[in-house]
Amino acid sequence: MPVAIVFGVVIAITIASIALVTLRARRRANALTRAASELGLVYDDRGMEALDPDLRDLPLFGFAALNHGNSISNVMTGAIDSVPLTVCDYAYWHGSTPGNRVDYAQTVACLRLGSGDYPAFTIQPLGNPVEQASRHVAMRAVEVLAALHPSGAGIDESRRQALDALLEQERQPGAPVAASPEFARAYRVTGADPARITAMLRGAALDSLLRDHRPLSVECTGRWLAIFPRNHLVPPSEIAAFLRRCVELTRMLLDRP
């Protein structure tokens, strides 16, 4: 087969793939716009600009400092059951070559905690060996980036803070929370103040995470609580149930009214 034909086929397949991805993204945006309206939320298509600046110090968004290919989309703001929140799709990748690149896309619900005095902590599913290995590779990439870009060099302040928080989170030992043995085998709780975290988080609330069909990660900065299923975009038809679950979990974990 002539090289020109092969080249043309490759280009056609590439264009078709891009068109399919674009079509799927547009359909999701339209469906989430309708879902937001039904839930009384405001849909915003500005991406990162639509996020509250305080959200950018979440450790989760530390991965955003790794490259410029990350994206925030489908932002929705408002309240569910009187709890203020922001919801978005967050996509990012890590890896230096196509062969070791790993892509992630997940729906993140960020709930504002108000004036309560809450310690920063994380609750992470341990995952299977492949997932653990992938996270290990990602954290090595974070450490390399941090070494190449010392504080104040090349990364804006909000991203730098999130990057530092992500590294600190990984260095912290697990907090000895009172939960079931099943929870201890499935999740890891970390934070800079293990005593306060242990006293605040009740075993029944933590064990409720075990009933979720898809494991949820939780990150708390003291001002915001982010809840997300790792590497999973919640379908628009399930977004209402997901957000109500996030509100329920927040109230259970932090004993909010």
Residue range 5-56, pLDDT digits in tens: 655 555 656 666 566 566 788 899 999 999 999 999 999 988 778 888 778 6
In a domain, 223, yes or no: yes
Helix, strand, or coil here: 104?
Answer: strand
In a domain, 1, yes or no: no
In a domain, 31, yes or no: no
Residue type, 82: S
Q: Mean pLDDT per 10-residue run, the chain (257 residues)?
A: 59 62 83 96 87 77 60 93 94 65 87 83 78 59 56 54 60 70 89 84 89 92 91 95 95 75
Residue 105, classified by CB atoms within 10 Å of its CB into exposed (0-12), middle (13-18) or buried (19+), is: middle
Among the listed residues 200, 46, 195, 56, the one whose alpha carbon sits nearest the alpha carbon of residue 116: 200
In a domain, 8, yes or no: no
In a domain, 17, yes or no: no
Q: Which domain holds residue 92?
A: 43-254
In a domain, 52, yes or no: yes
Residue 103, classified by CB atoms within 10 Å of its CB into exposed (0-12), middle (13-18) or buried (19+), is: exposed
In a domain, 106, yes or no: yes
In a domain, 32, yes or no: no
Number of domains the chain is built from: 1
Residue 182 CB partners (closer than 8 Å, separation 6+): 207, 210
d(CA 156, CA 217): 26
